[in-house]
Structure 1
Amino acid sequence: MVMGLRRPWAARREPLPGADPAETAAGDARIGSWALALWLLLLTVVVVLLDTFTGNDLPVIPLLVVLPALASVFCTVRQTTGVAVWVTLVVVGSRIASTGAFWDVVFLIGFTALASALGVVACAARIRHATEVARLRSAAVALQRQILRPLPIVTRQICAHGFYEPIEEDRFVGGDIYEVVQSPHGTRVIIGDVQGKGLPAIGVGFAALGAFREAAVREPELTAVADAVEDAVVRHNAFSAGTGEAERFVTALLLGFDGGDRVRAVNCGHLLPRLLHDGSASPVALHRTSVPLGLAALGGEARAAEWIGFPPGAALMVFTDGVTEARDAAGVFYPLDERLGRWVGQGPDEVLEALQADLQAFSGGVRRDDVAVLVLNRPQAAESEAGSRGDPATSAPTT
């Protein structure tokens, strides 16, 4: 998730450089060795005392075989092996000292040894799986860094703060896209929502982002940028059709900032932005909305751009429908405009933090779609200077 200077993946733990992948993968479940030894000793004493009191009529010592199984869930392989050896020794020692039948003793010792060995094997398999998941997660982090840039992004004209939450916790990238590019023609911004979810939607989003990054620098007109992204989505759909996948479209809003009091906008079937200014939040009317990207052949009309006001001190909020279509337990949609009015006097980071927390509380933590939100405002002096230098830590590249 992105919040202010936080990165989209900052909410998730990443392995430290040089860390053992197996130990890192098991780190969340691992318990301290001293604590483990203390609990093991206490449980052993309790079971042995109960076994002494009950005698041969109701032997309790076999219950110790569950300890390696429990350790395999929470401990490392080394700790689980230690528990298994300890349990085996305790059972062997107690049964040798007992007066039970020979084959009963042999059977119990053999069963304990087998259960302990299975616990160690299960622990090793769990850590191996966790290590593979950790490696895949690292690959997903690298993929996201190539697809969606960390926020905030500062250019000469704007500073873009925001957050992004994919619907699936196991995935770092979903069907929502955003990008901010500094170009010779000003700053170009896109936010969009790909139809559908999963890897096919990610593929369409990547194609759209790649085309936008190139066209935003090359094309002087914002409508030409939209047409270039349209062509990329159409080409990707043609390729997908050849592999048996369904065609998809992208609702998107493209904005062009030149440093003035107006912003150029091309709306391709996307939600209206909100203008945060003078203590109020209001939808920005766009009268030339066209069809989503990938469906231009069905529209019959060329895409058109229009100007919207962007007075000094104002901020534009753009978002995907994961915000407006969030619902509570009763099925009521999230009242975005009503809630924004409460926070409009605060800074971008505070507004985003309040919105993110309120969405979580309103929906009870149940998300039905990806959520992407950007707040675009004029940068402060220090941020503007960093953006004009093309500082890689804050500014999107121009190519």
Structure 2
Amino acid sequence: MLSVSDAEAIILNLVQPLDDQRDTEVVDLLAADSRILARPITSSLDFPHWDNSAMDGYAARYEDVQHSSTEKPAVLEIVEEIPAGYQPKSTIQTGQAARIFTGAVLPAGADTIVMQEKTRQEDKRVFILDAPKPQEFVRHKAAFYQAGTQLLPAGIKLNAPEIAVLAAAQCSQLRVYRRPRVAIFSTGDELLAIDQPLQPGQIVDSNQYAIAALVRQTGAEPLILGIVKDDPVALEMSITHAIAIADLVISSGGVSVGDYDYVDKILESLQAKIHIRAVQITPGKPLTVATFPTQNSALYFGLPGNPAAVLVTFWRFVLPAIKKLSGISEGWGPVFLKVRSHDELRSHGQRETYLWGKLHLIDGVHEFHKAGGSHSSGNLINLAQTNALAVLPIGKTLISPQEEVLVLQLSNG
């Protein structure tokens, strides 16, 4: 049985990111939110585009105002008013200033902005009541970015700040990686669809909905293939179809050692190489990860059937795989924090144990609150509102209240 860290390393080594030539598409900027940039971006524009004012005030020559004070103010003639979006007409000469507003173009001859709070205006004259620093409040052309250099690198997720940068650079279309395709199906004779009447011994297939939601949160495209009965022929057909249409396949159930757990046997019959069969993790010990000999076939994840185990193994193993697959250049792995535990946390100590709950910020300190009720892998109900998993390493059976604990912080992809 593999350790959690060894399983993670094997999975990430198996993942081949989308190809930066074949697996890309051009999208409009308004459709680029949360997409992964496939090409570096450069711009022909400098940022700022020109010298401009960072403050409402007066544009002047530093040599005219460097000795100003309340007792002996410099007095300058106001020769022009320059709002944002206006092209200055004057060149500032000795003894002159221009009224200027934030973002407006600095007029020729001026090299310093005196903020208006340090001035007094009388008709067409301004009194400078305090000496500014040289070039104070001047934003120089190309100080933020120089035209022709790299503006954004490939392999980053485009969020609001990056979208704003691209808009400012007049980049209306850009090349991004296509969304990874993830096929999803559930296995088990006991499963029924959400709209079917529940019979004794049956359960509603919640895993398919949970996995599809998680896949969407990563920015990938879920391909919903439904419920497959515990029938070897039907399972083989479903697996064959799934690996042909997807980049990654996720099934739930059928990967343990029961008489009706057929997934591993069928994968072997399809000449798949099974890299992982079980991991030292609770919940989620039975975990199958396989690859196929055919070119461009999907990476296969066979997750356990119990709902808590499905979510934990997705967060711990599948999410990093989808991130790497999507073209993100770095930061695929989970984010761990050391925080204070509000509750007593227990495990048997034989496997790395994950307990679900919520992170709270208490008096400036993050604190983990374990979800109430049973932490059975079959208990779906108390998983609601989970945003963190407390991790108890092998051999650690108790974490007392107020003791430090490592937590896996959960986010939407």
User: What TM-score results when the alignment is normalised by the length of structure 2?
Assistant: 0.30
Tell me which protein shows more strand as a share of its residues: 2
Please report the TM-score for the alignment, with normalisation by the length of structure 1: 0.31
Which protein is richer in helix relative to its size?
1
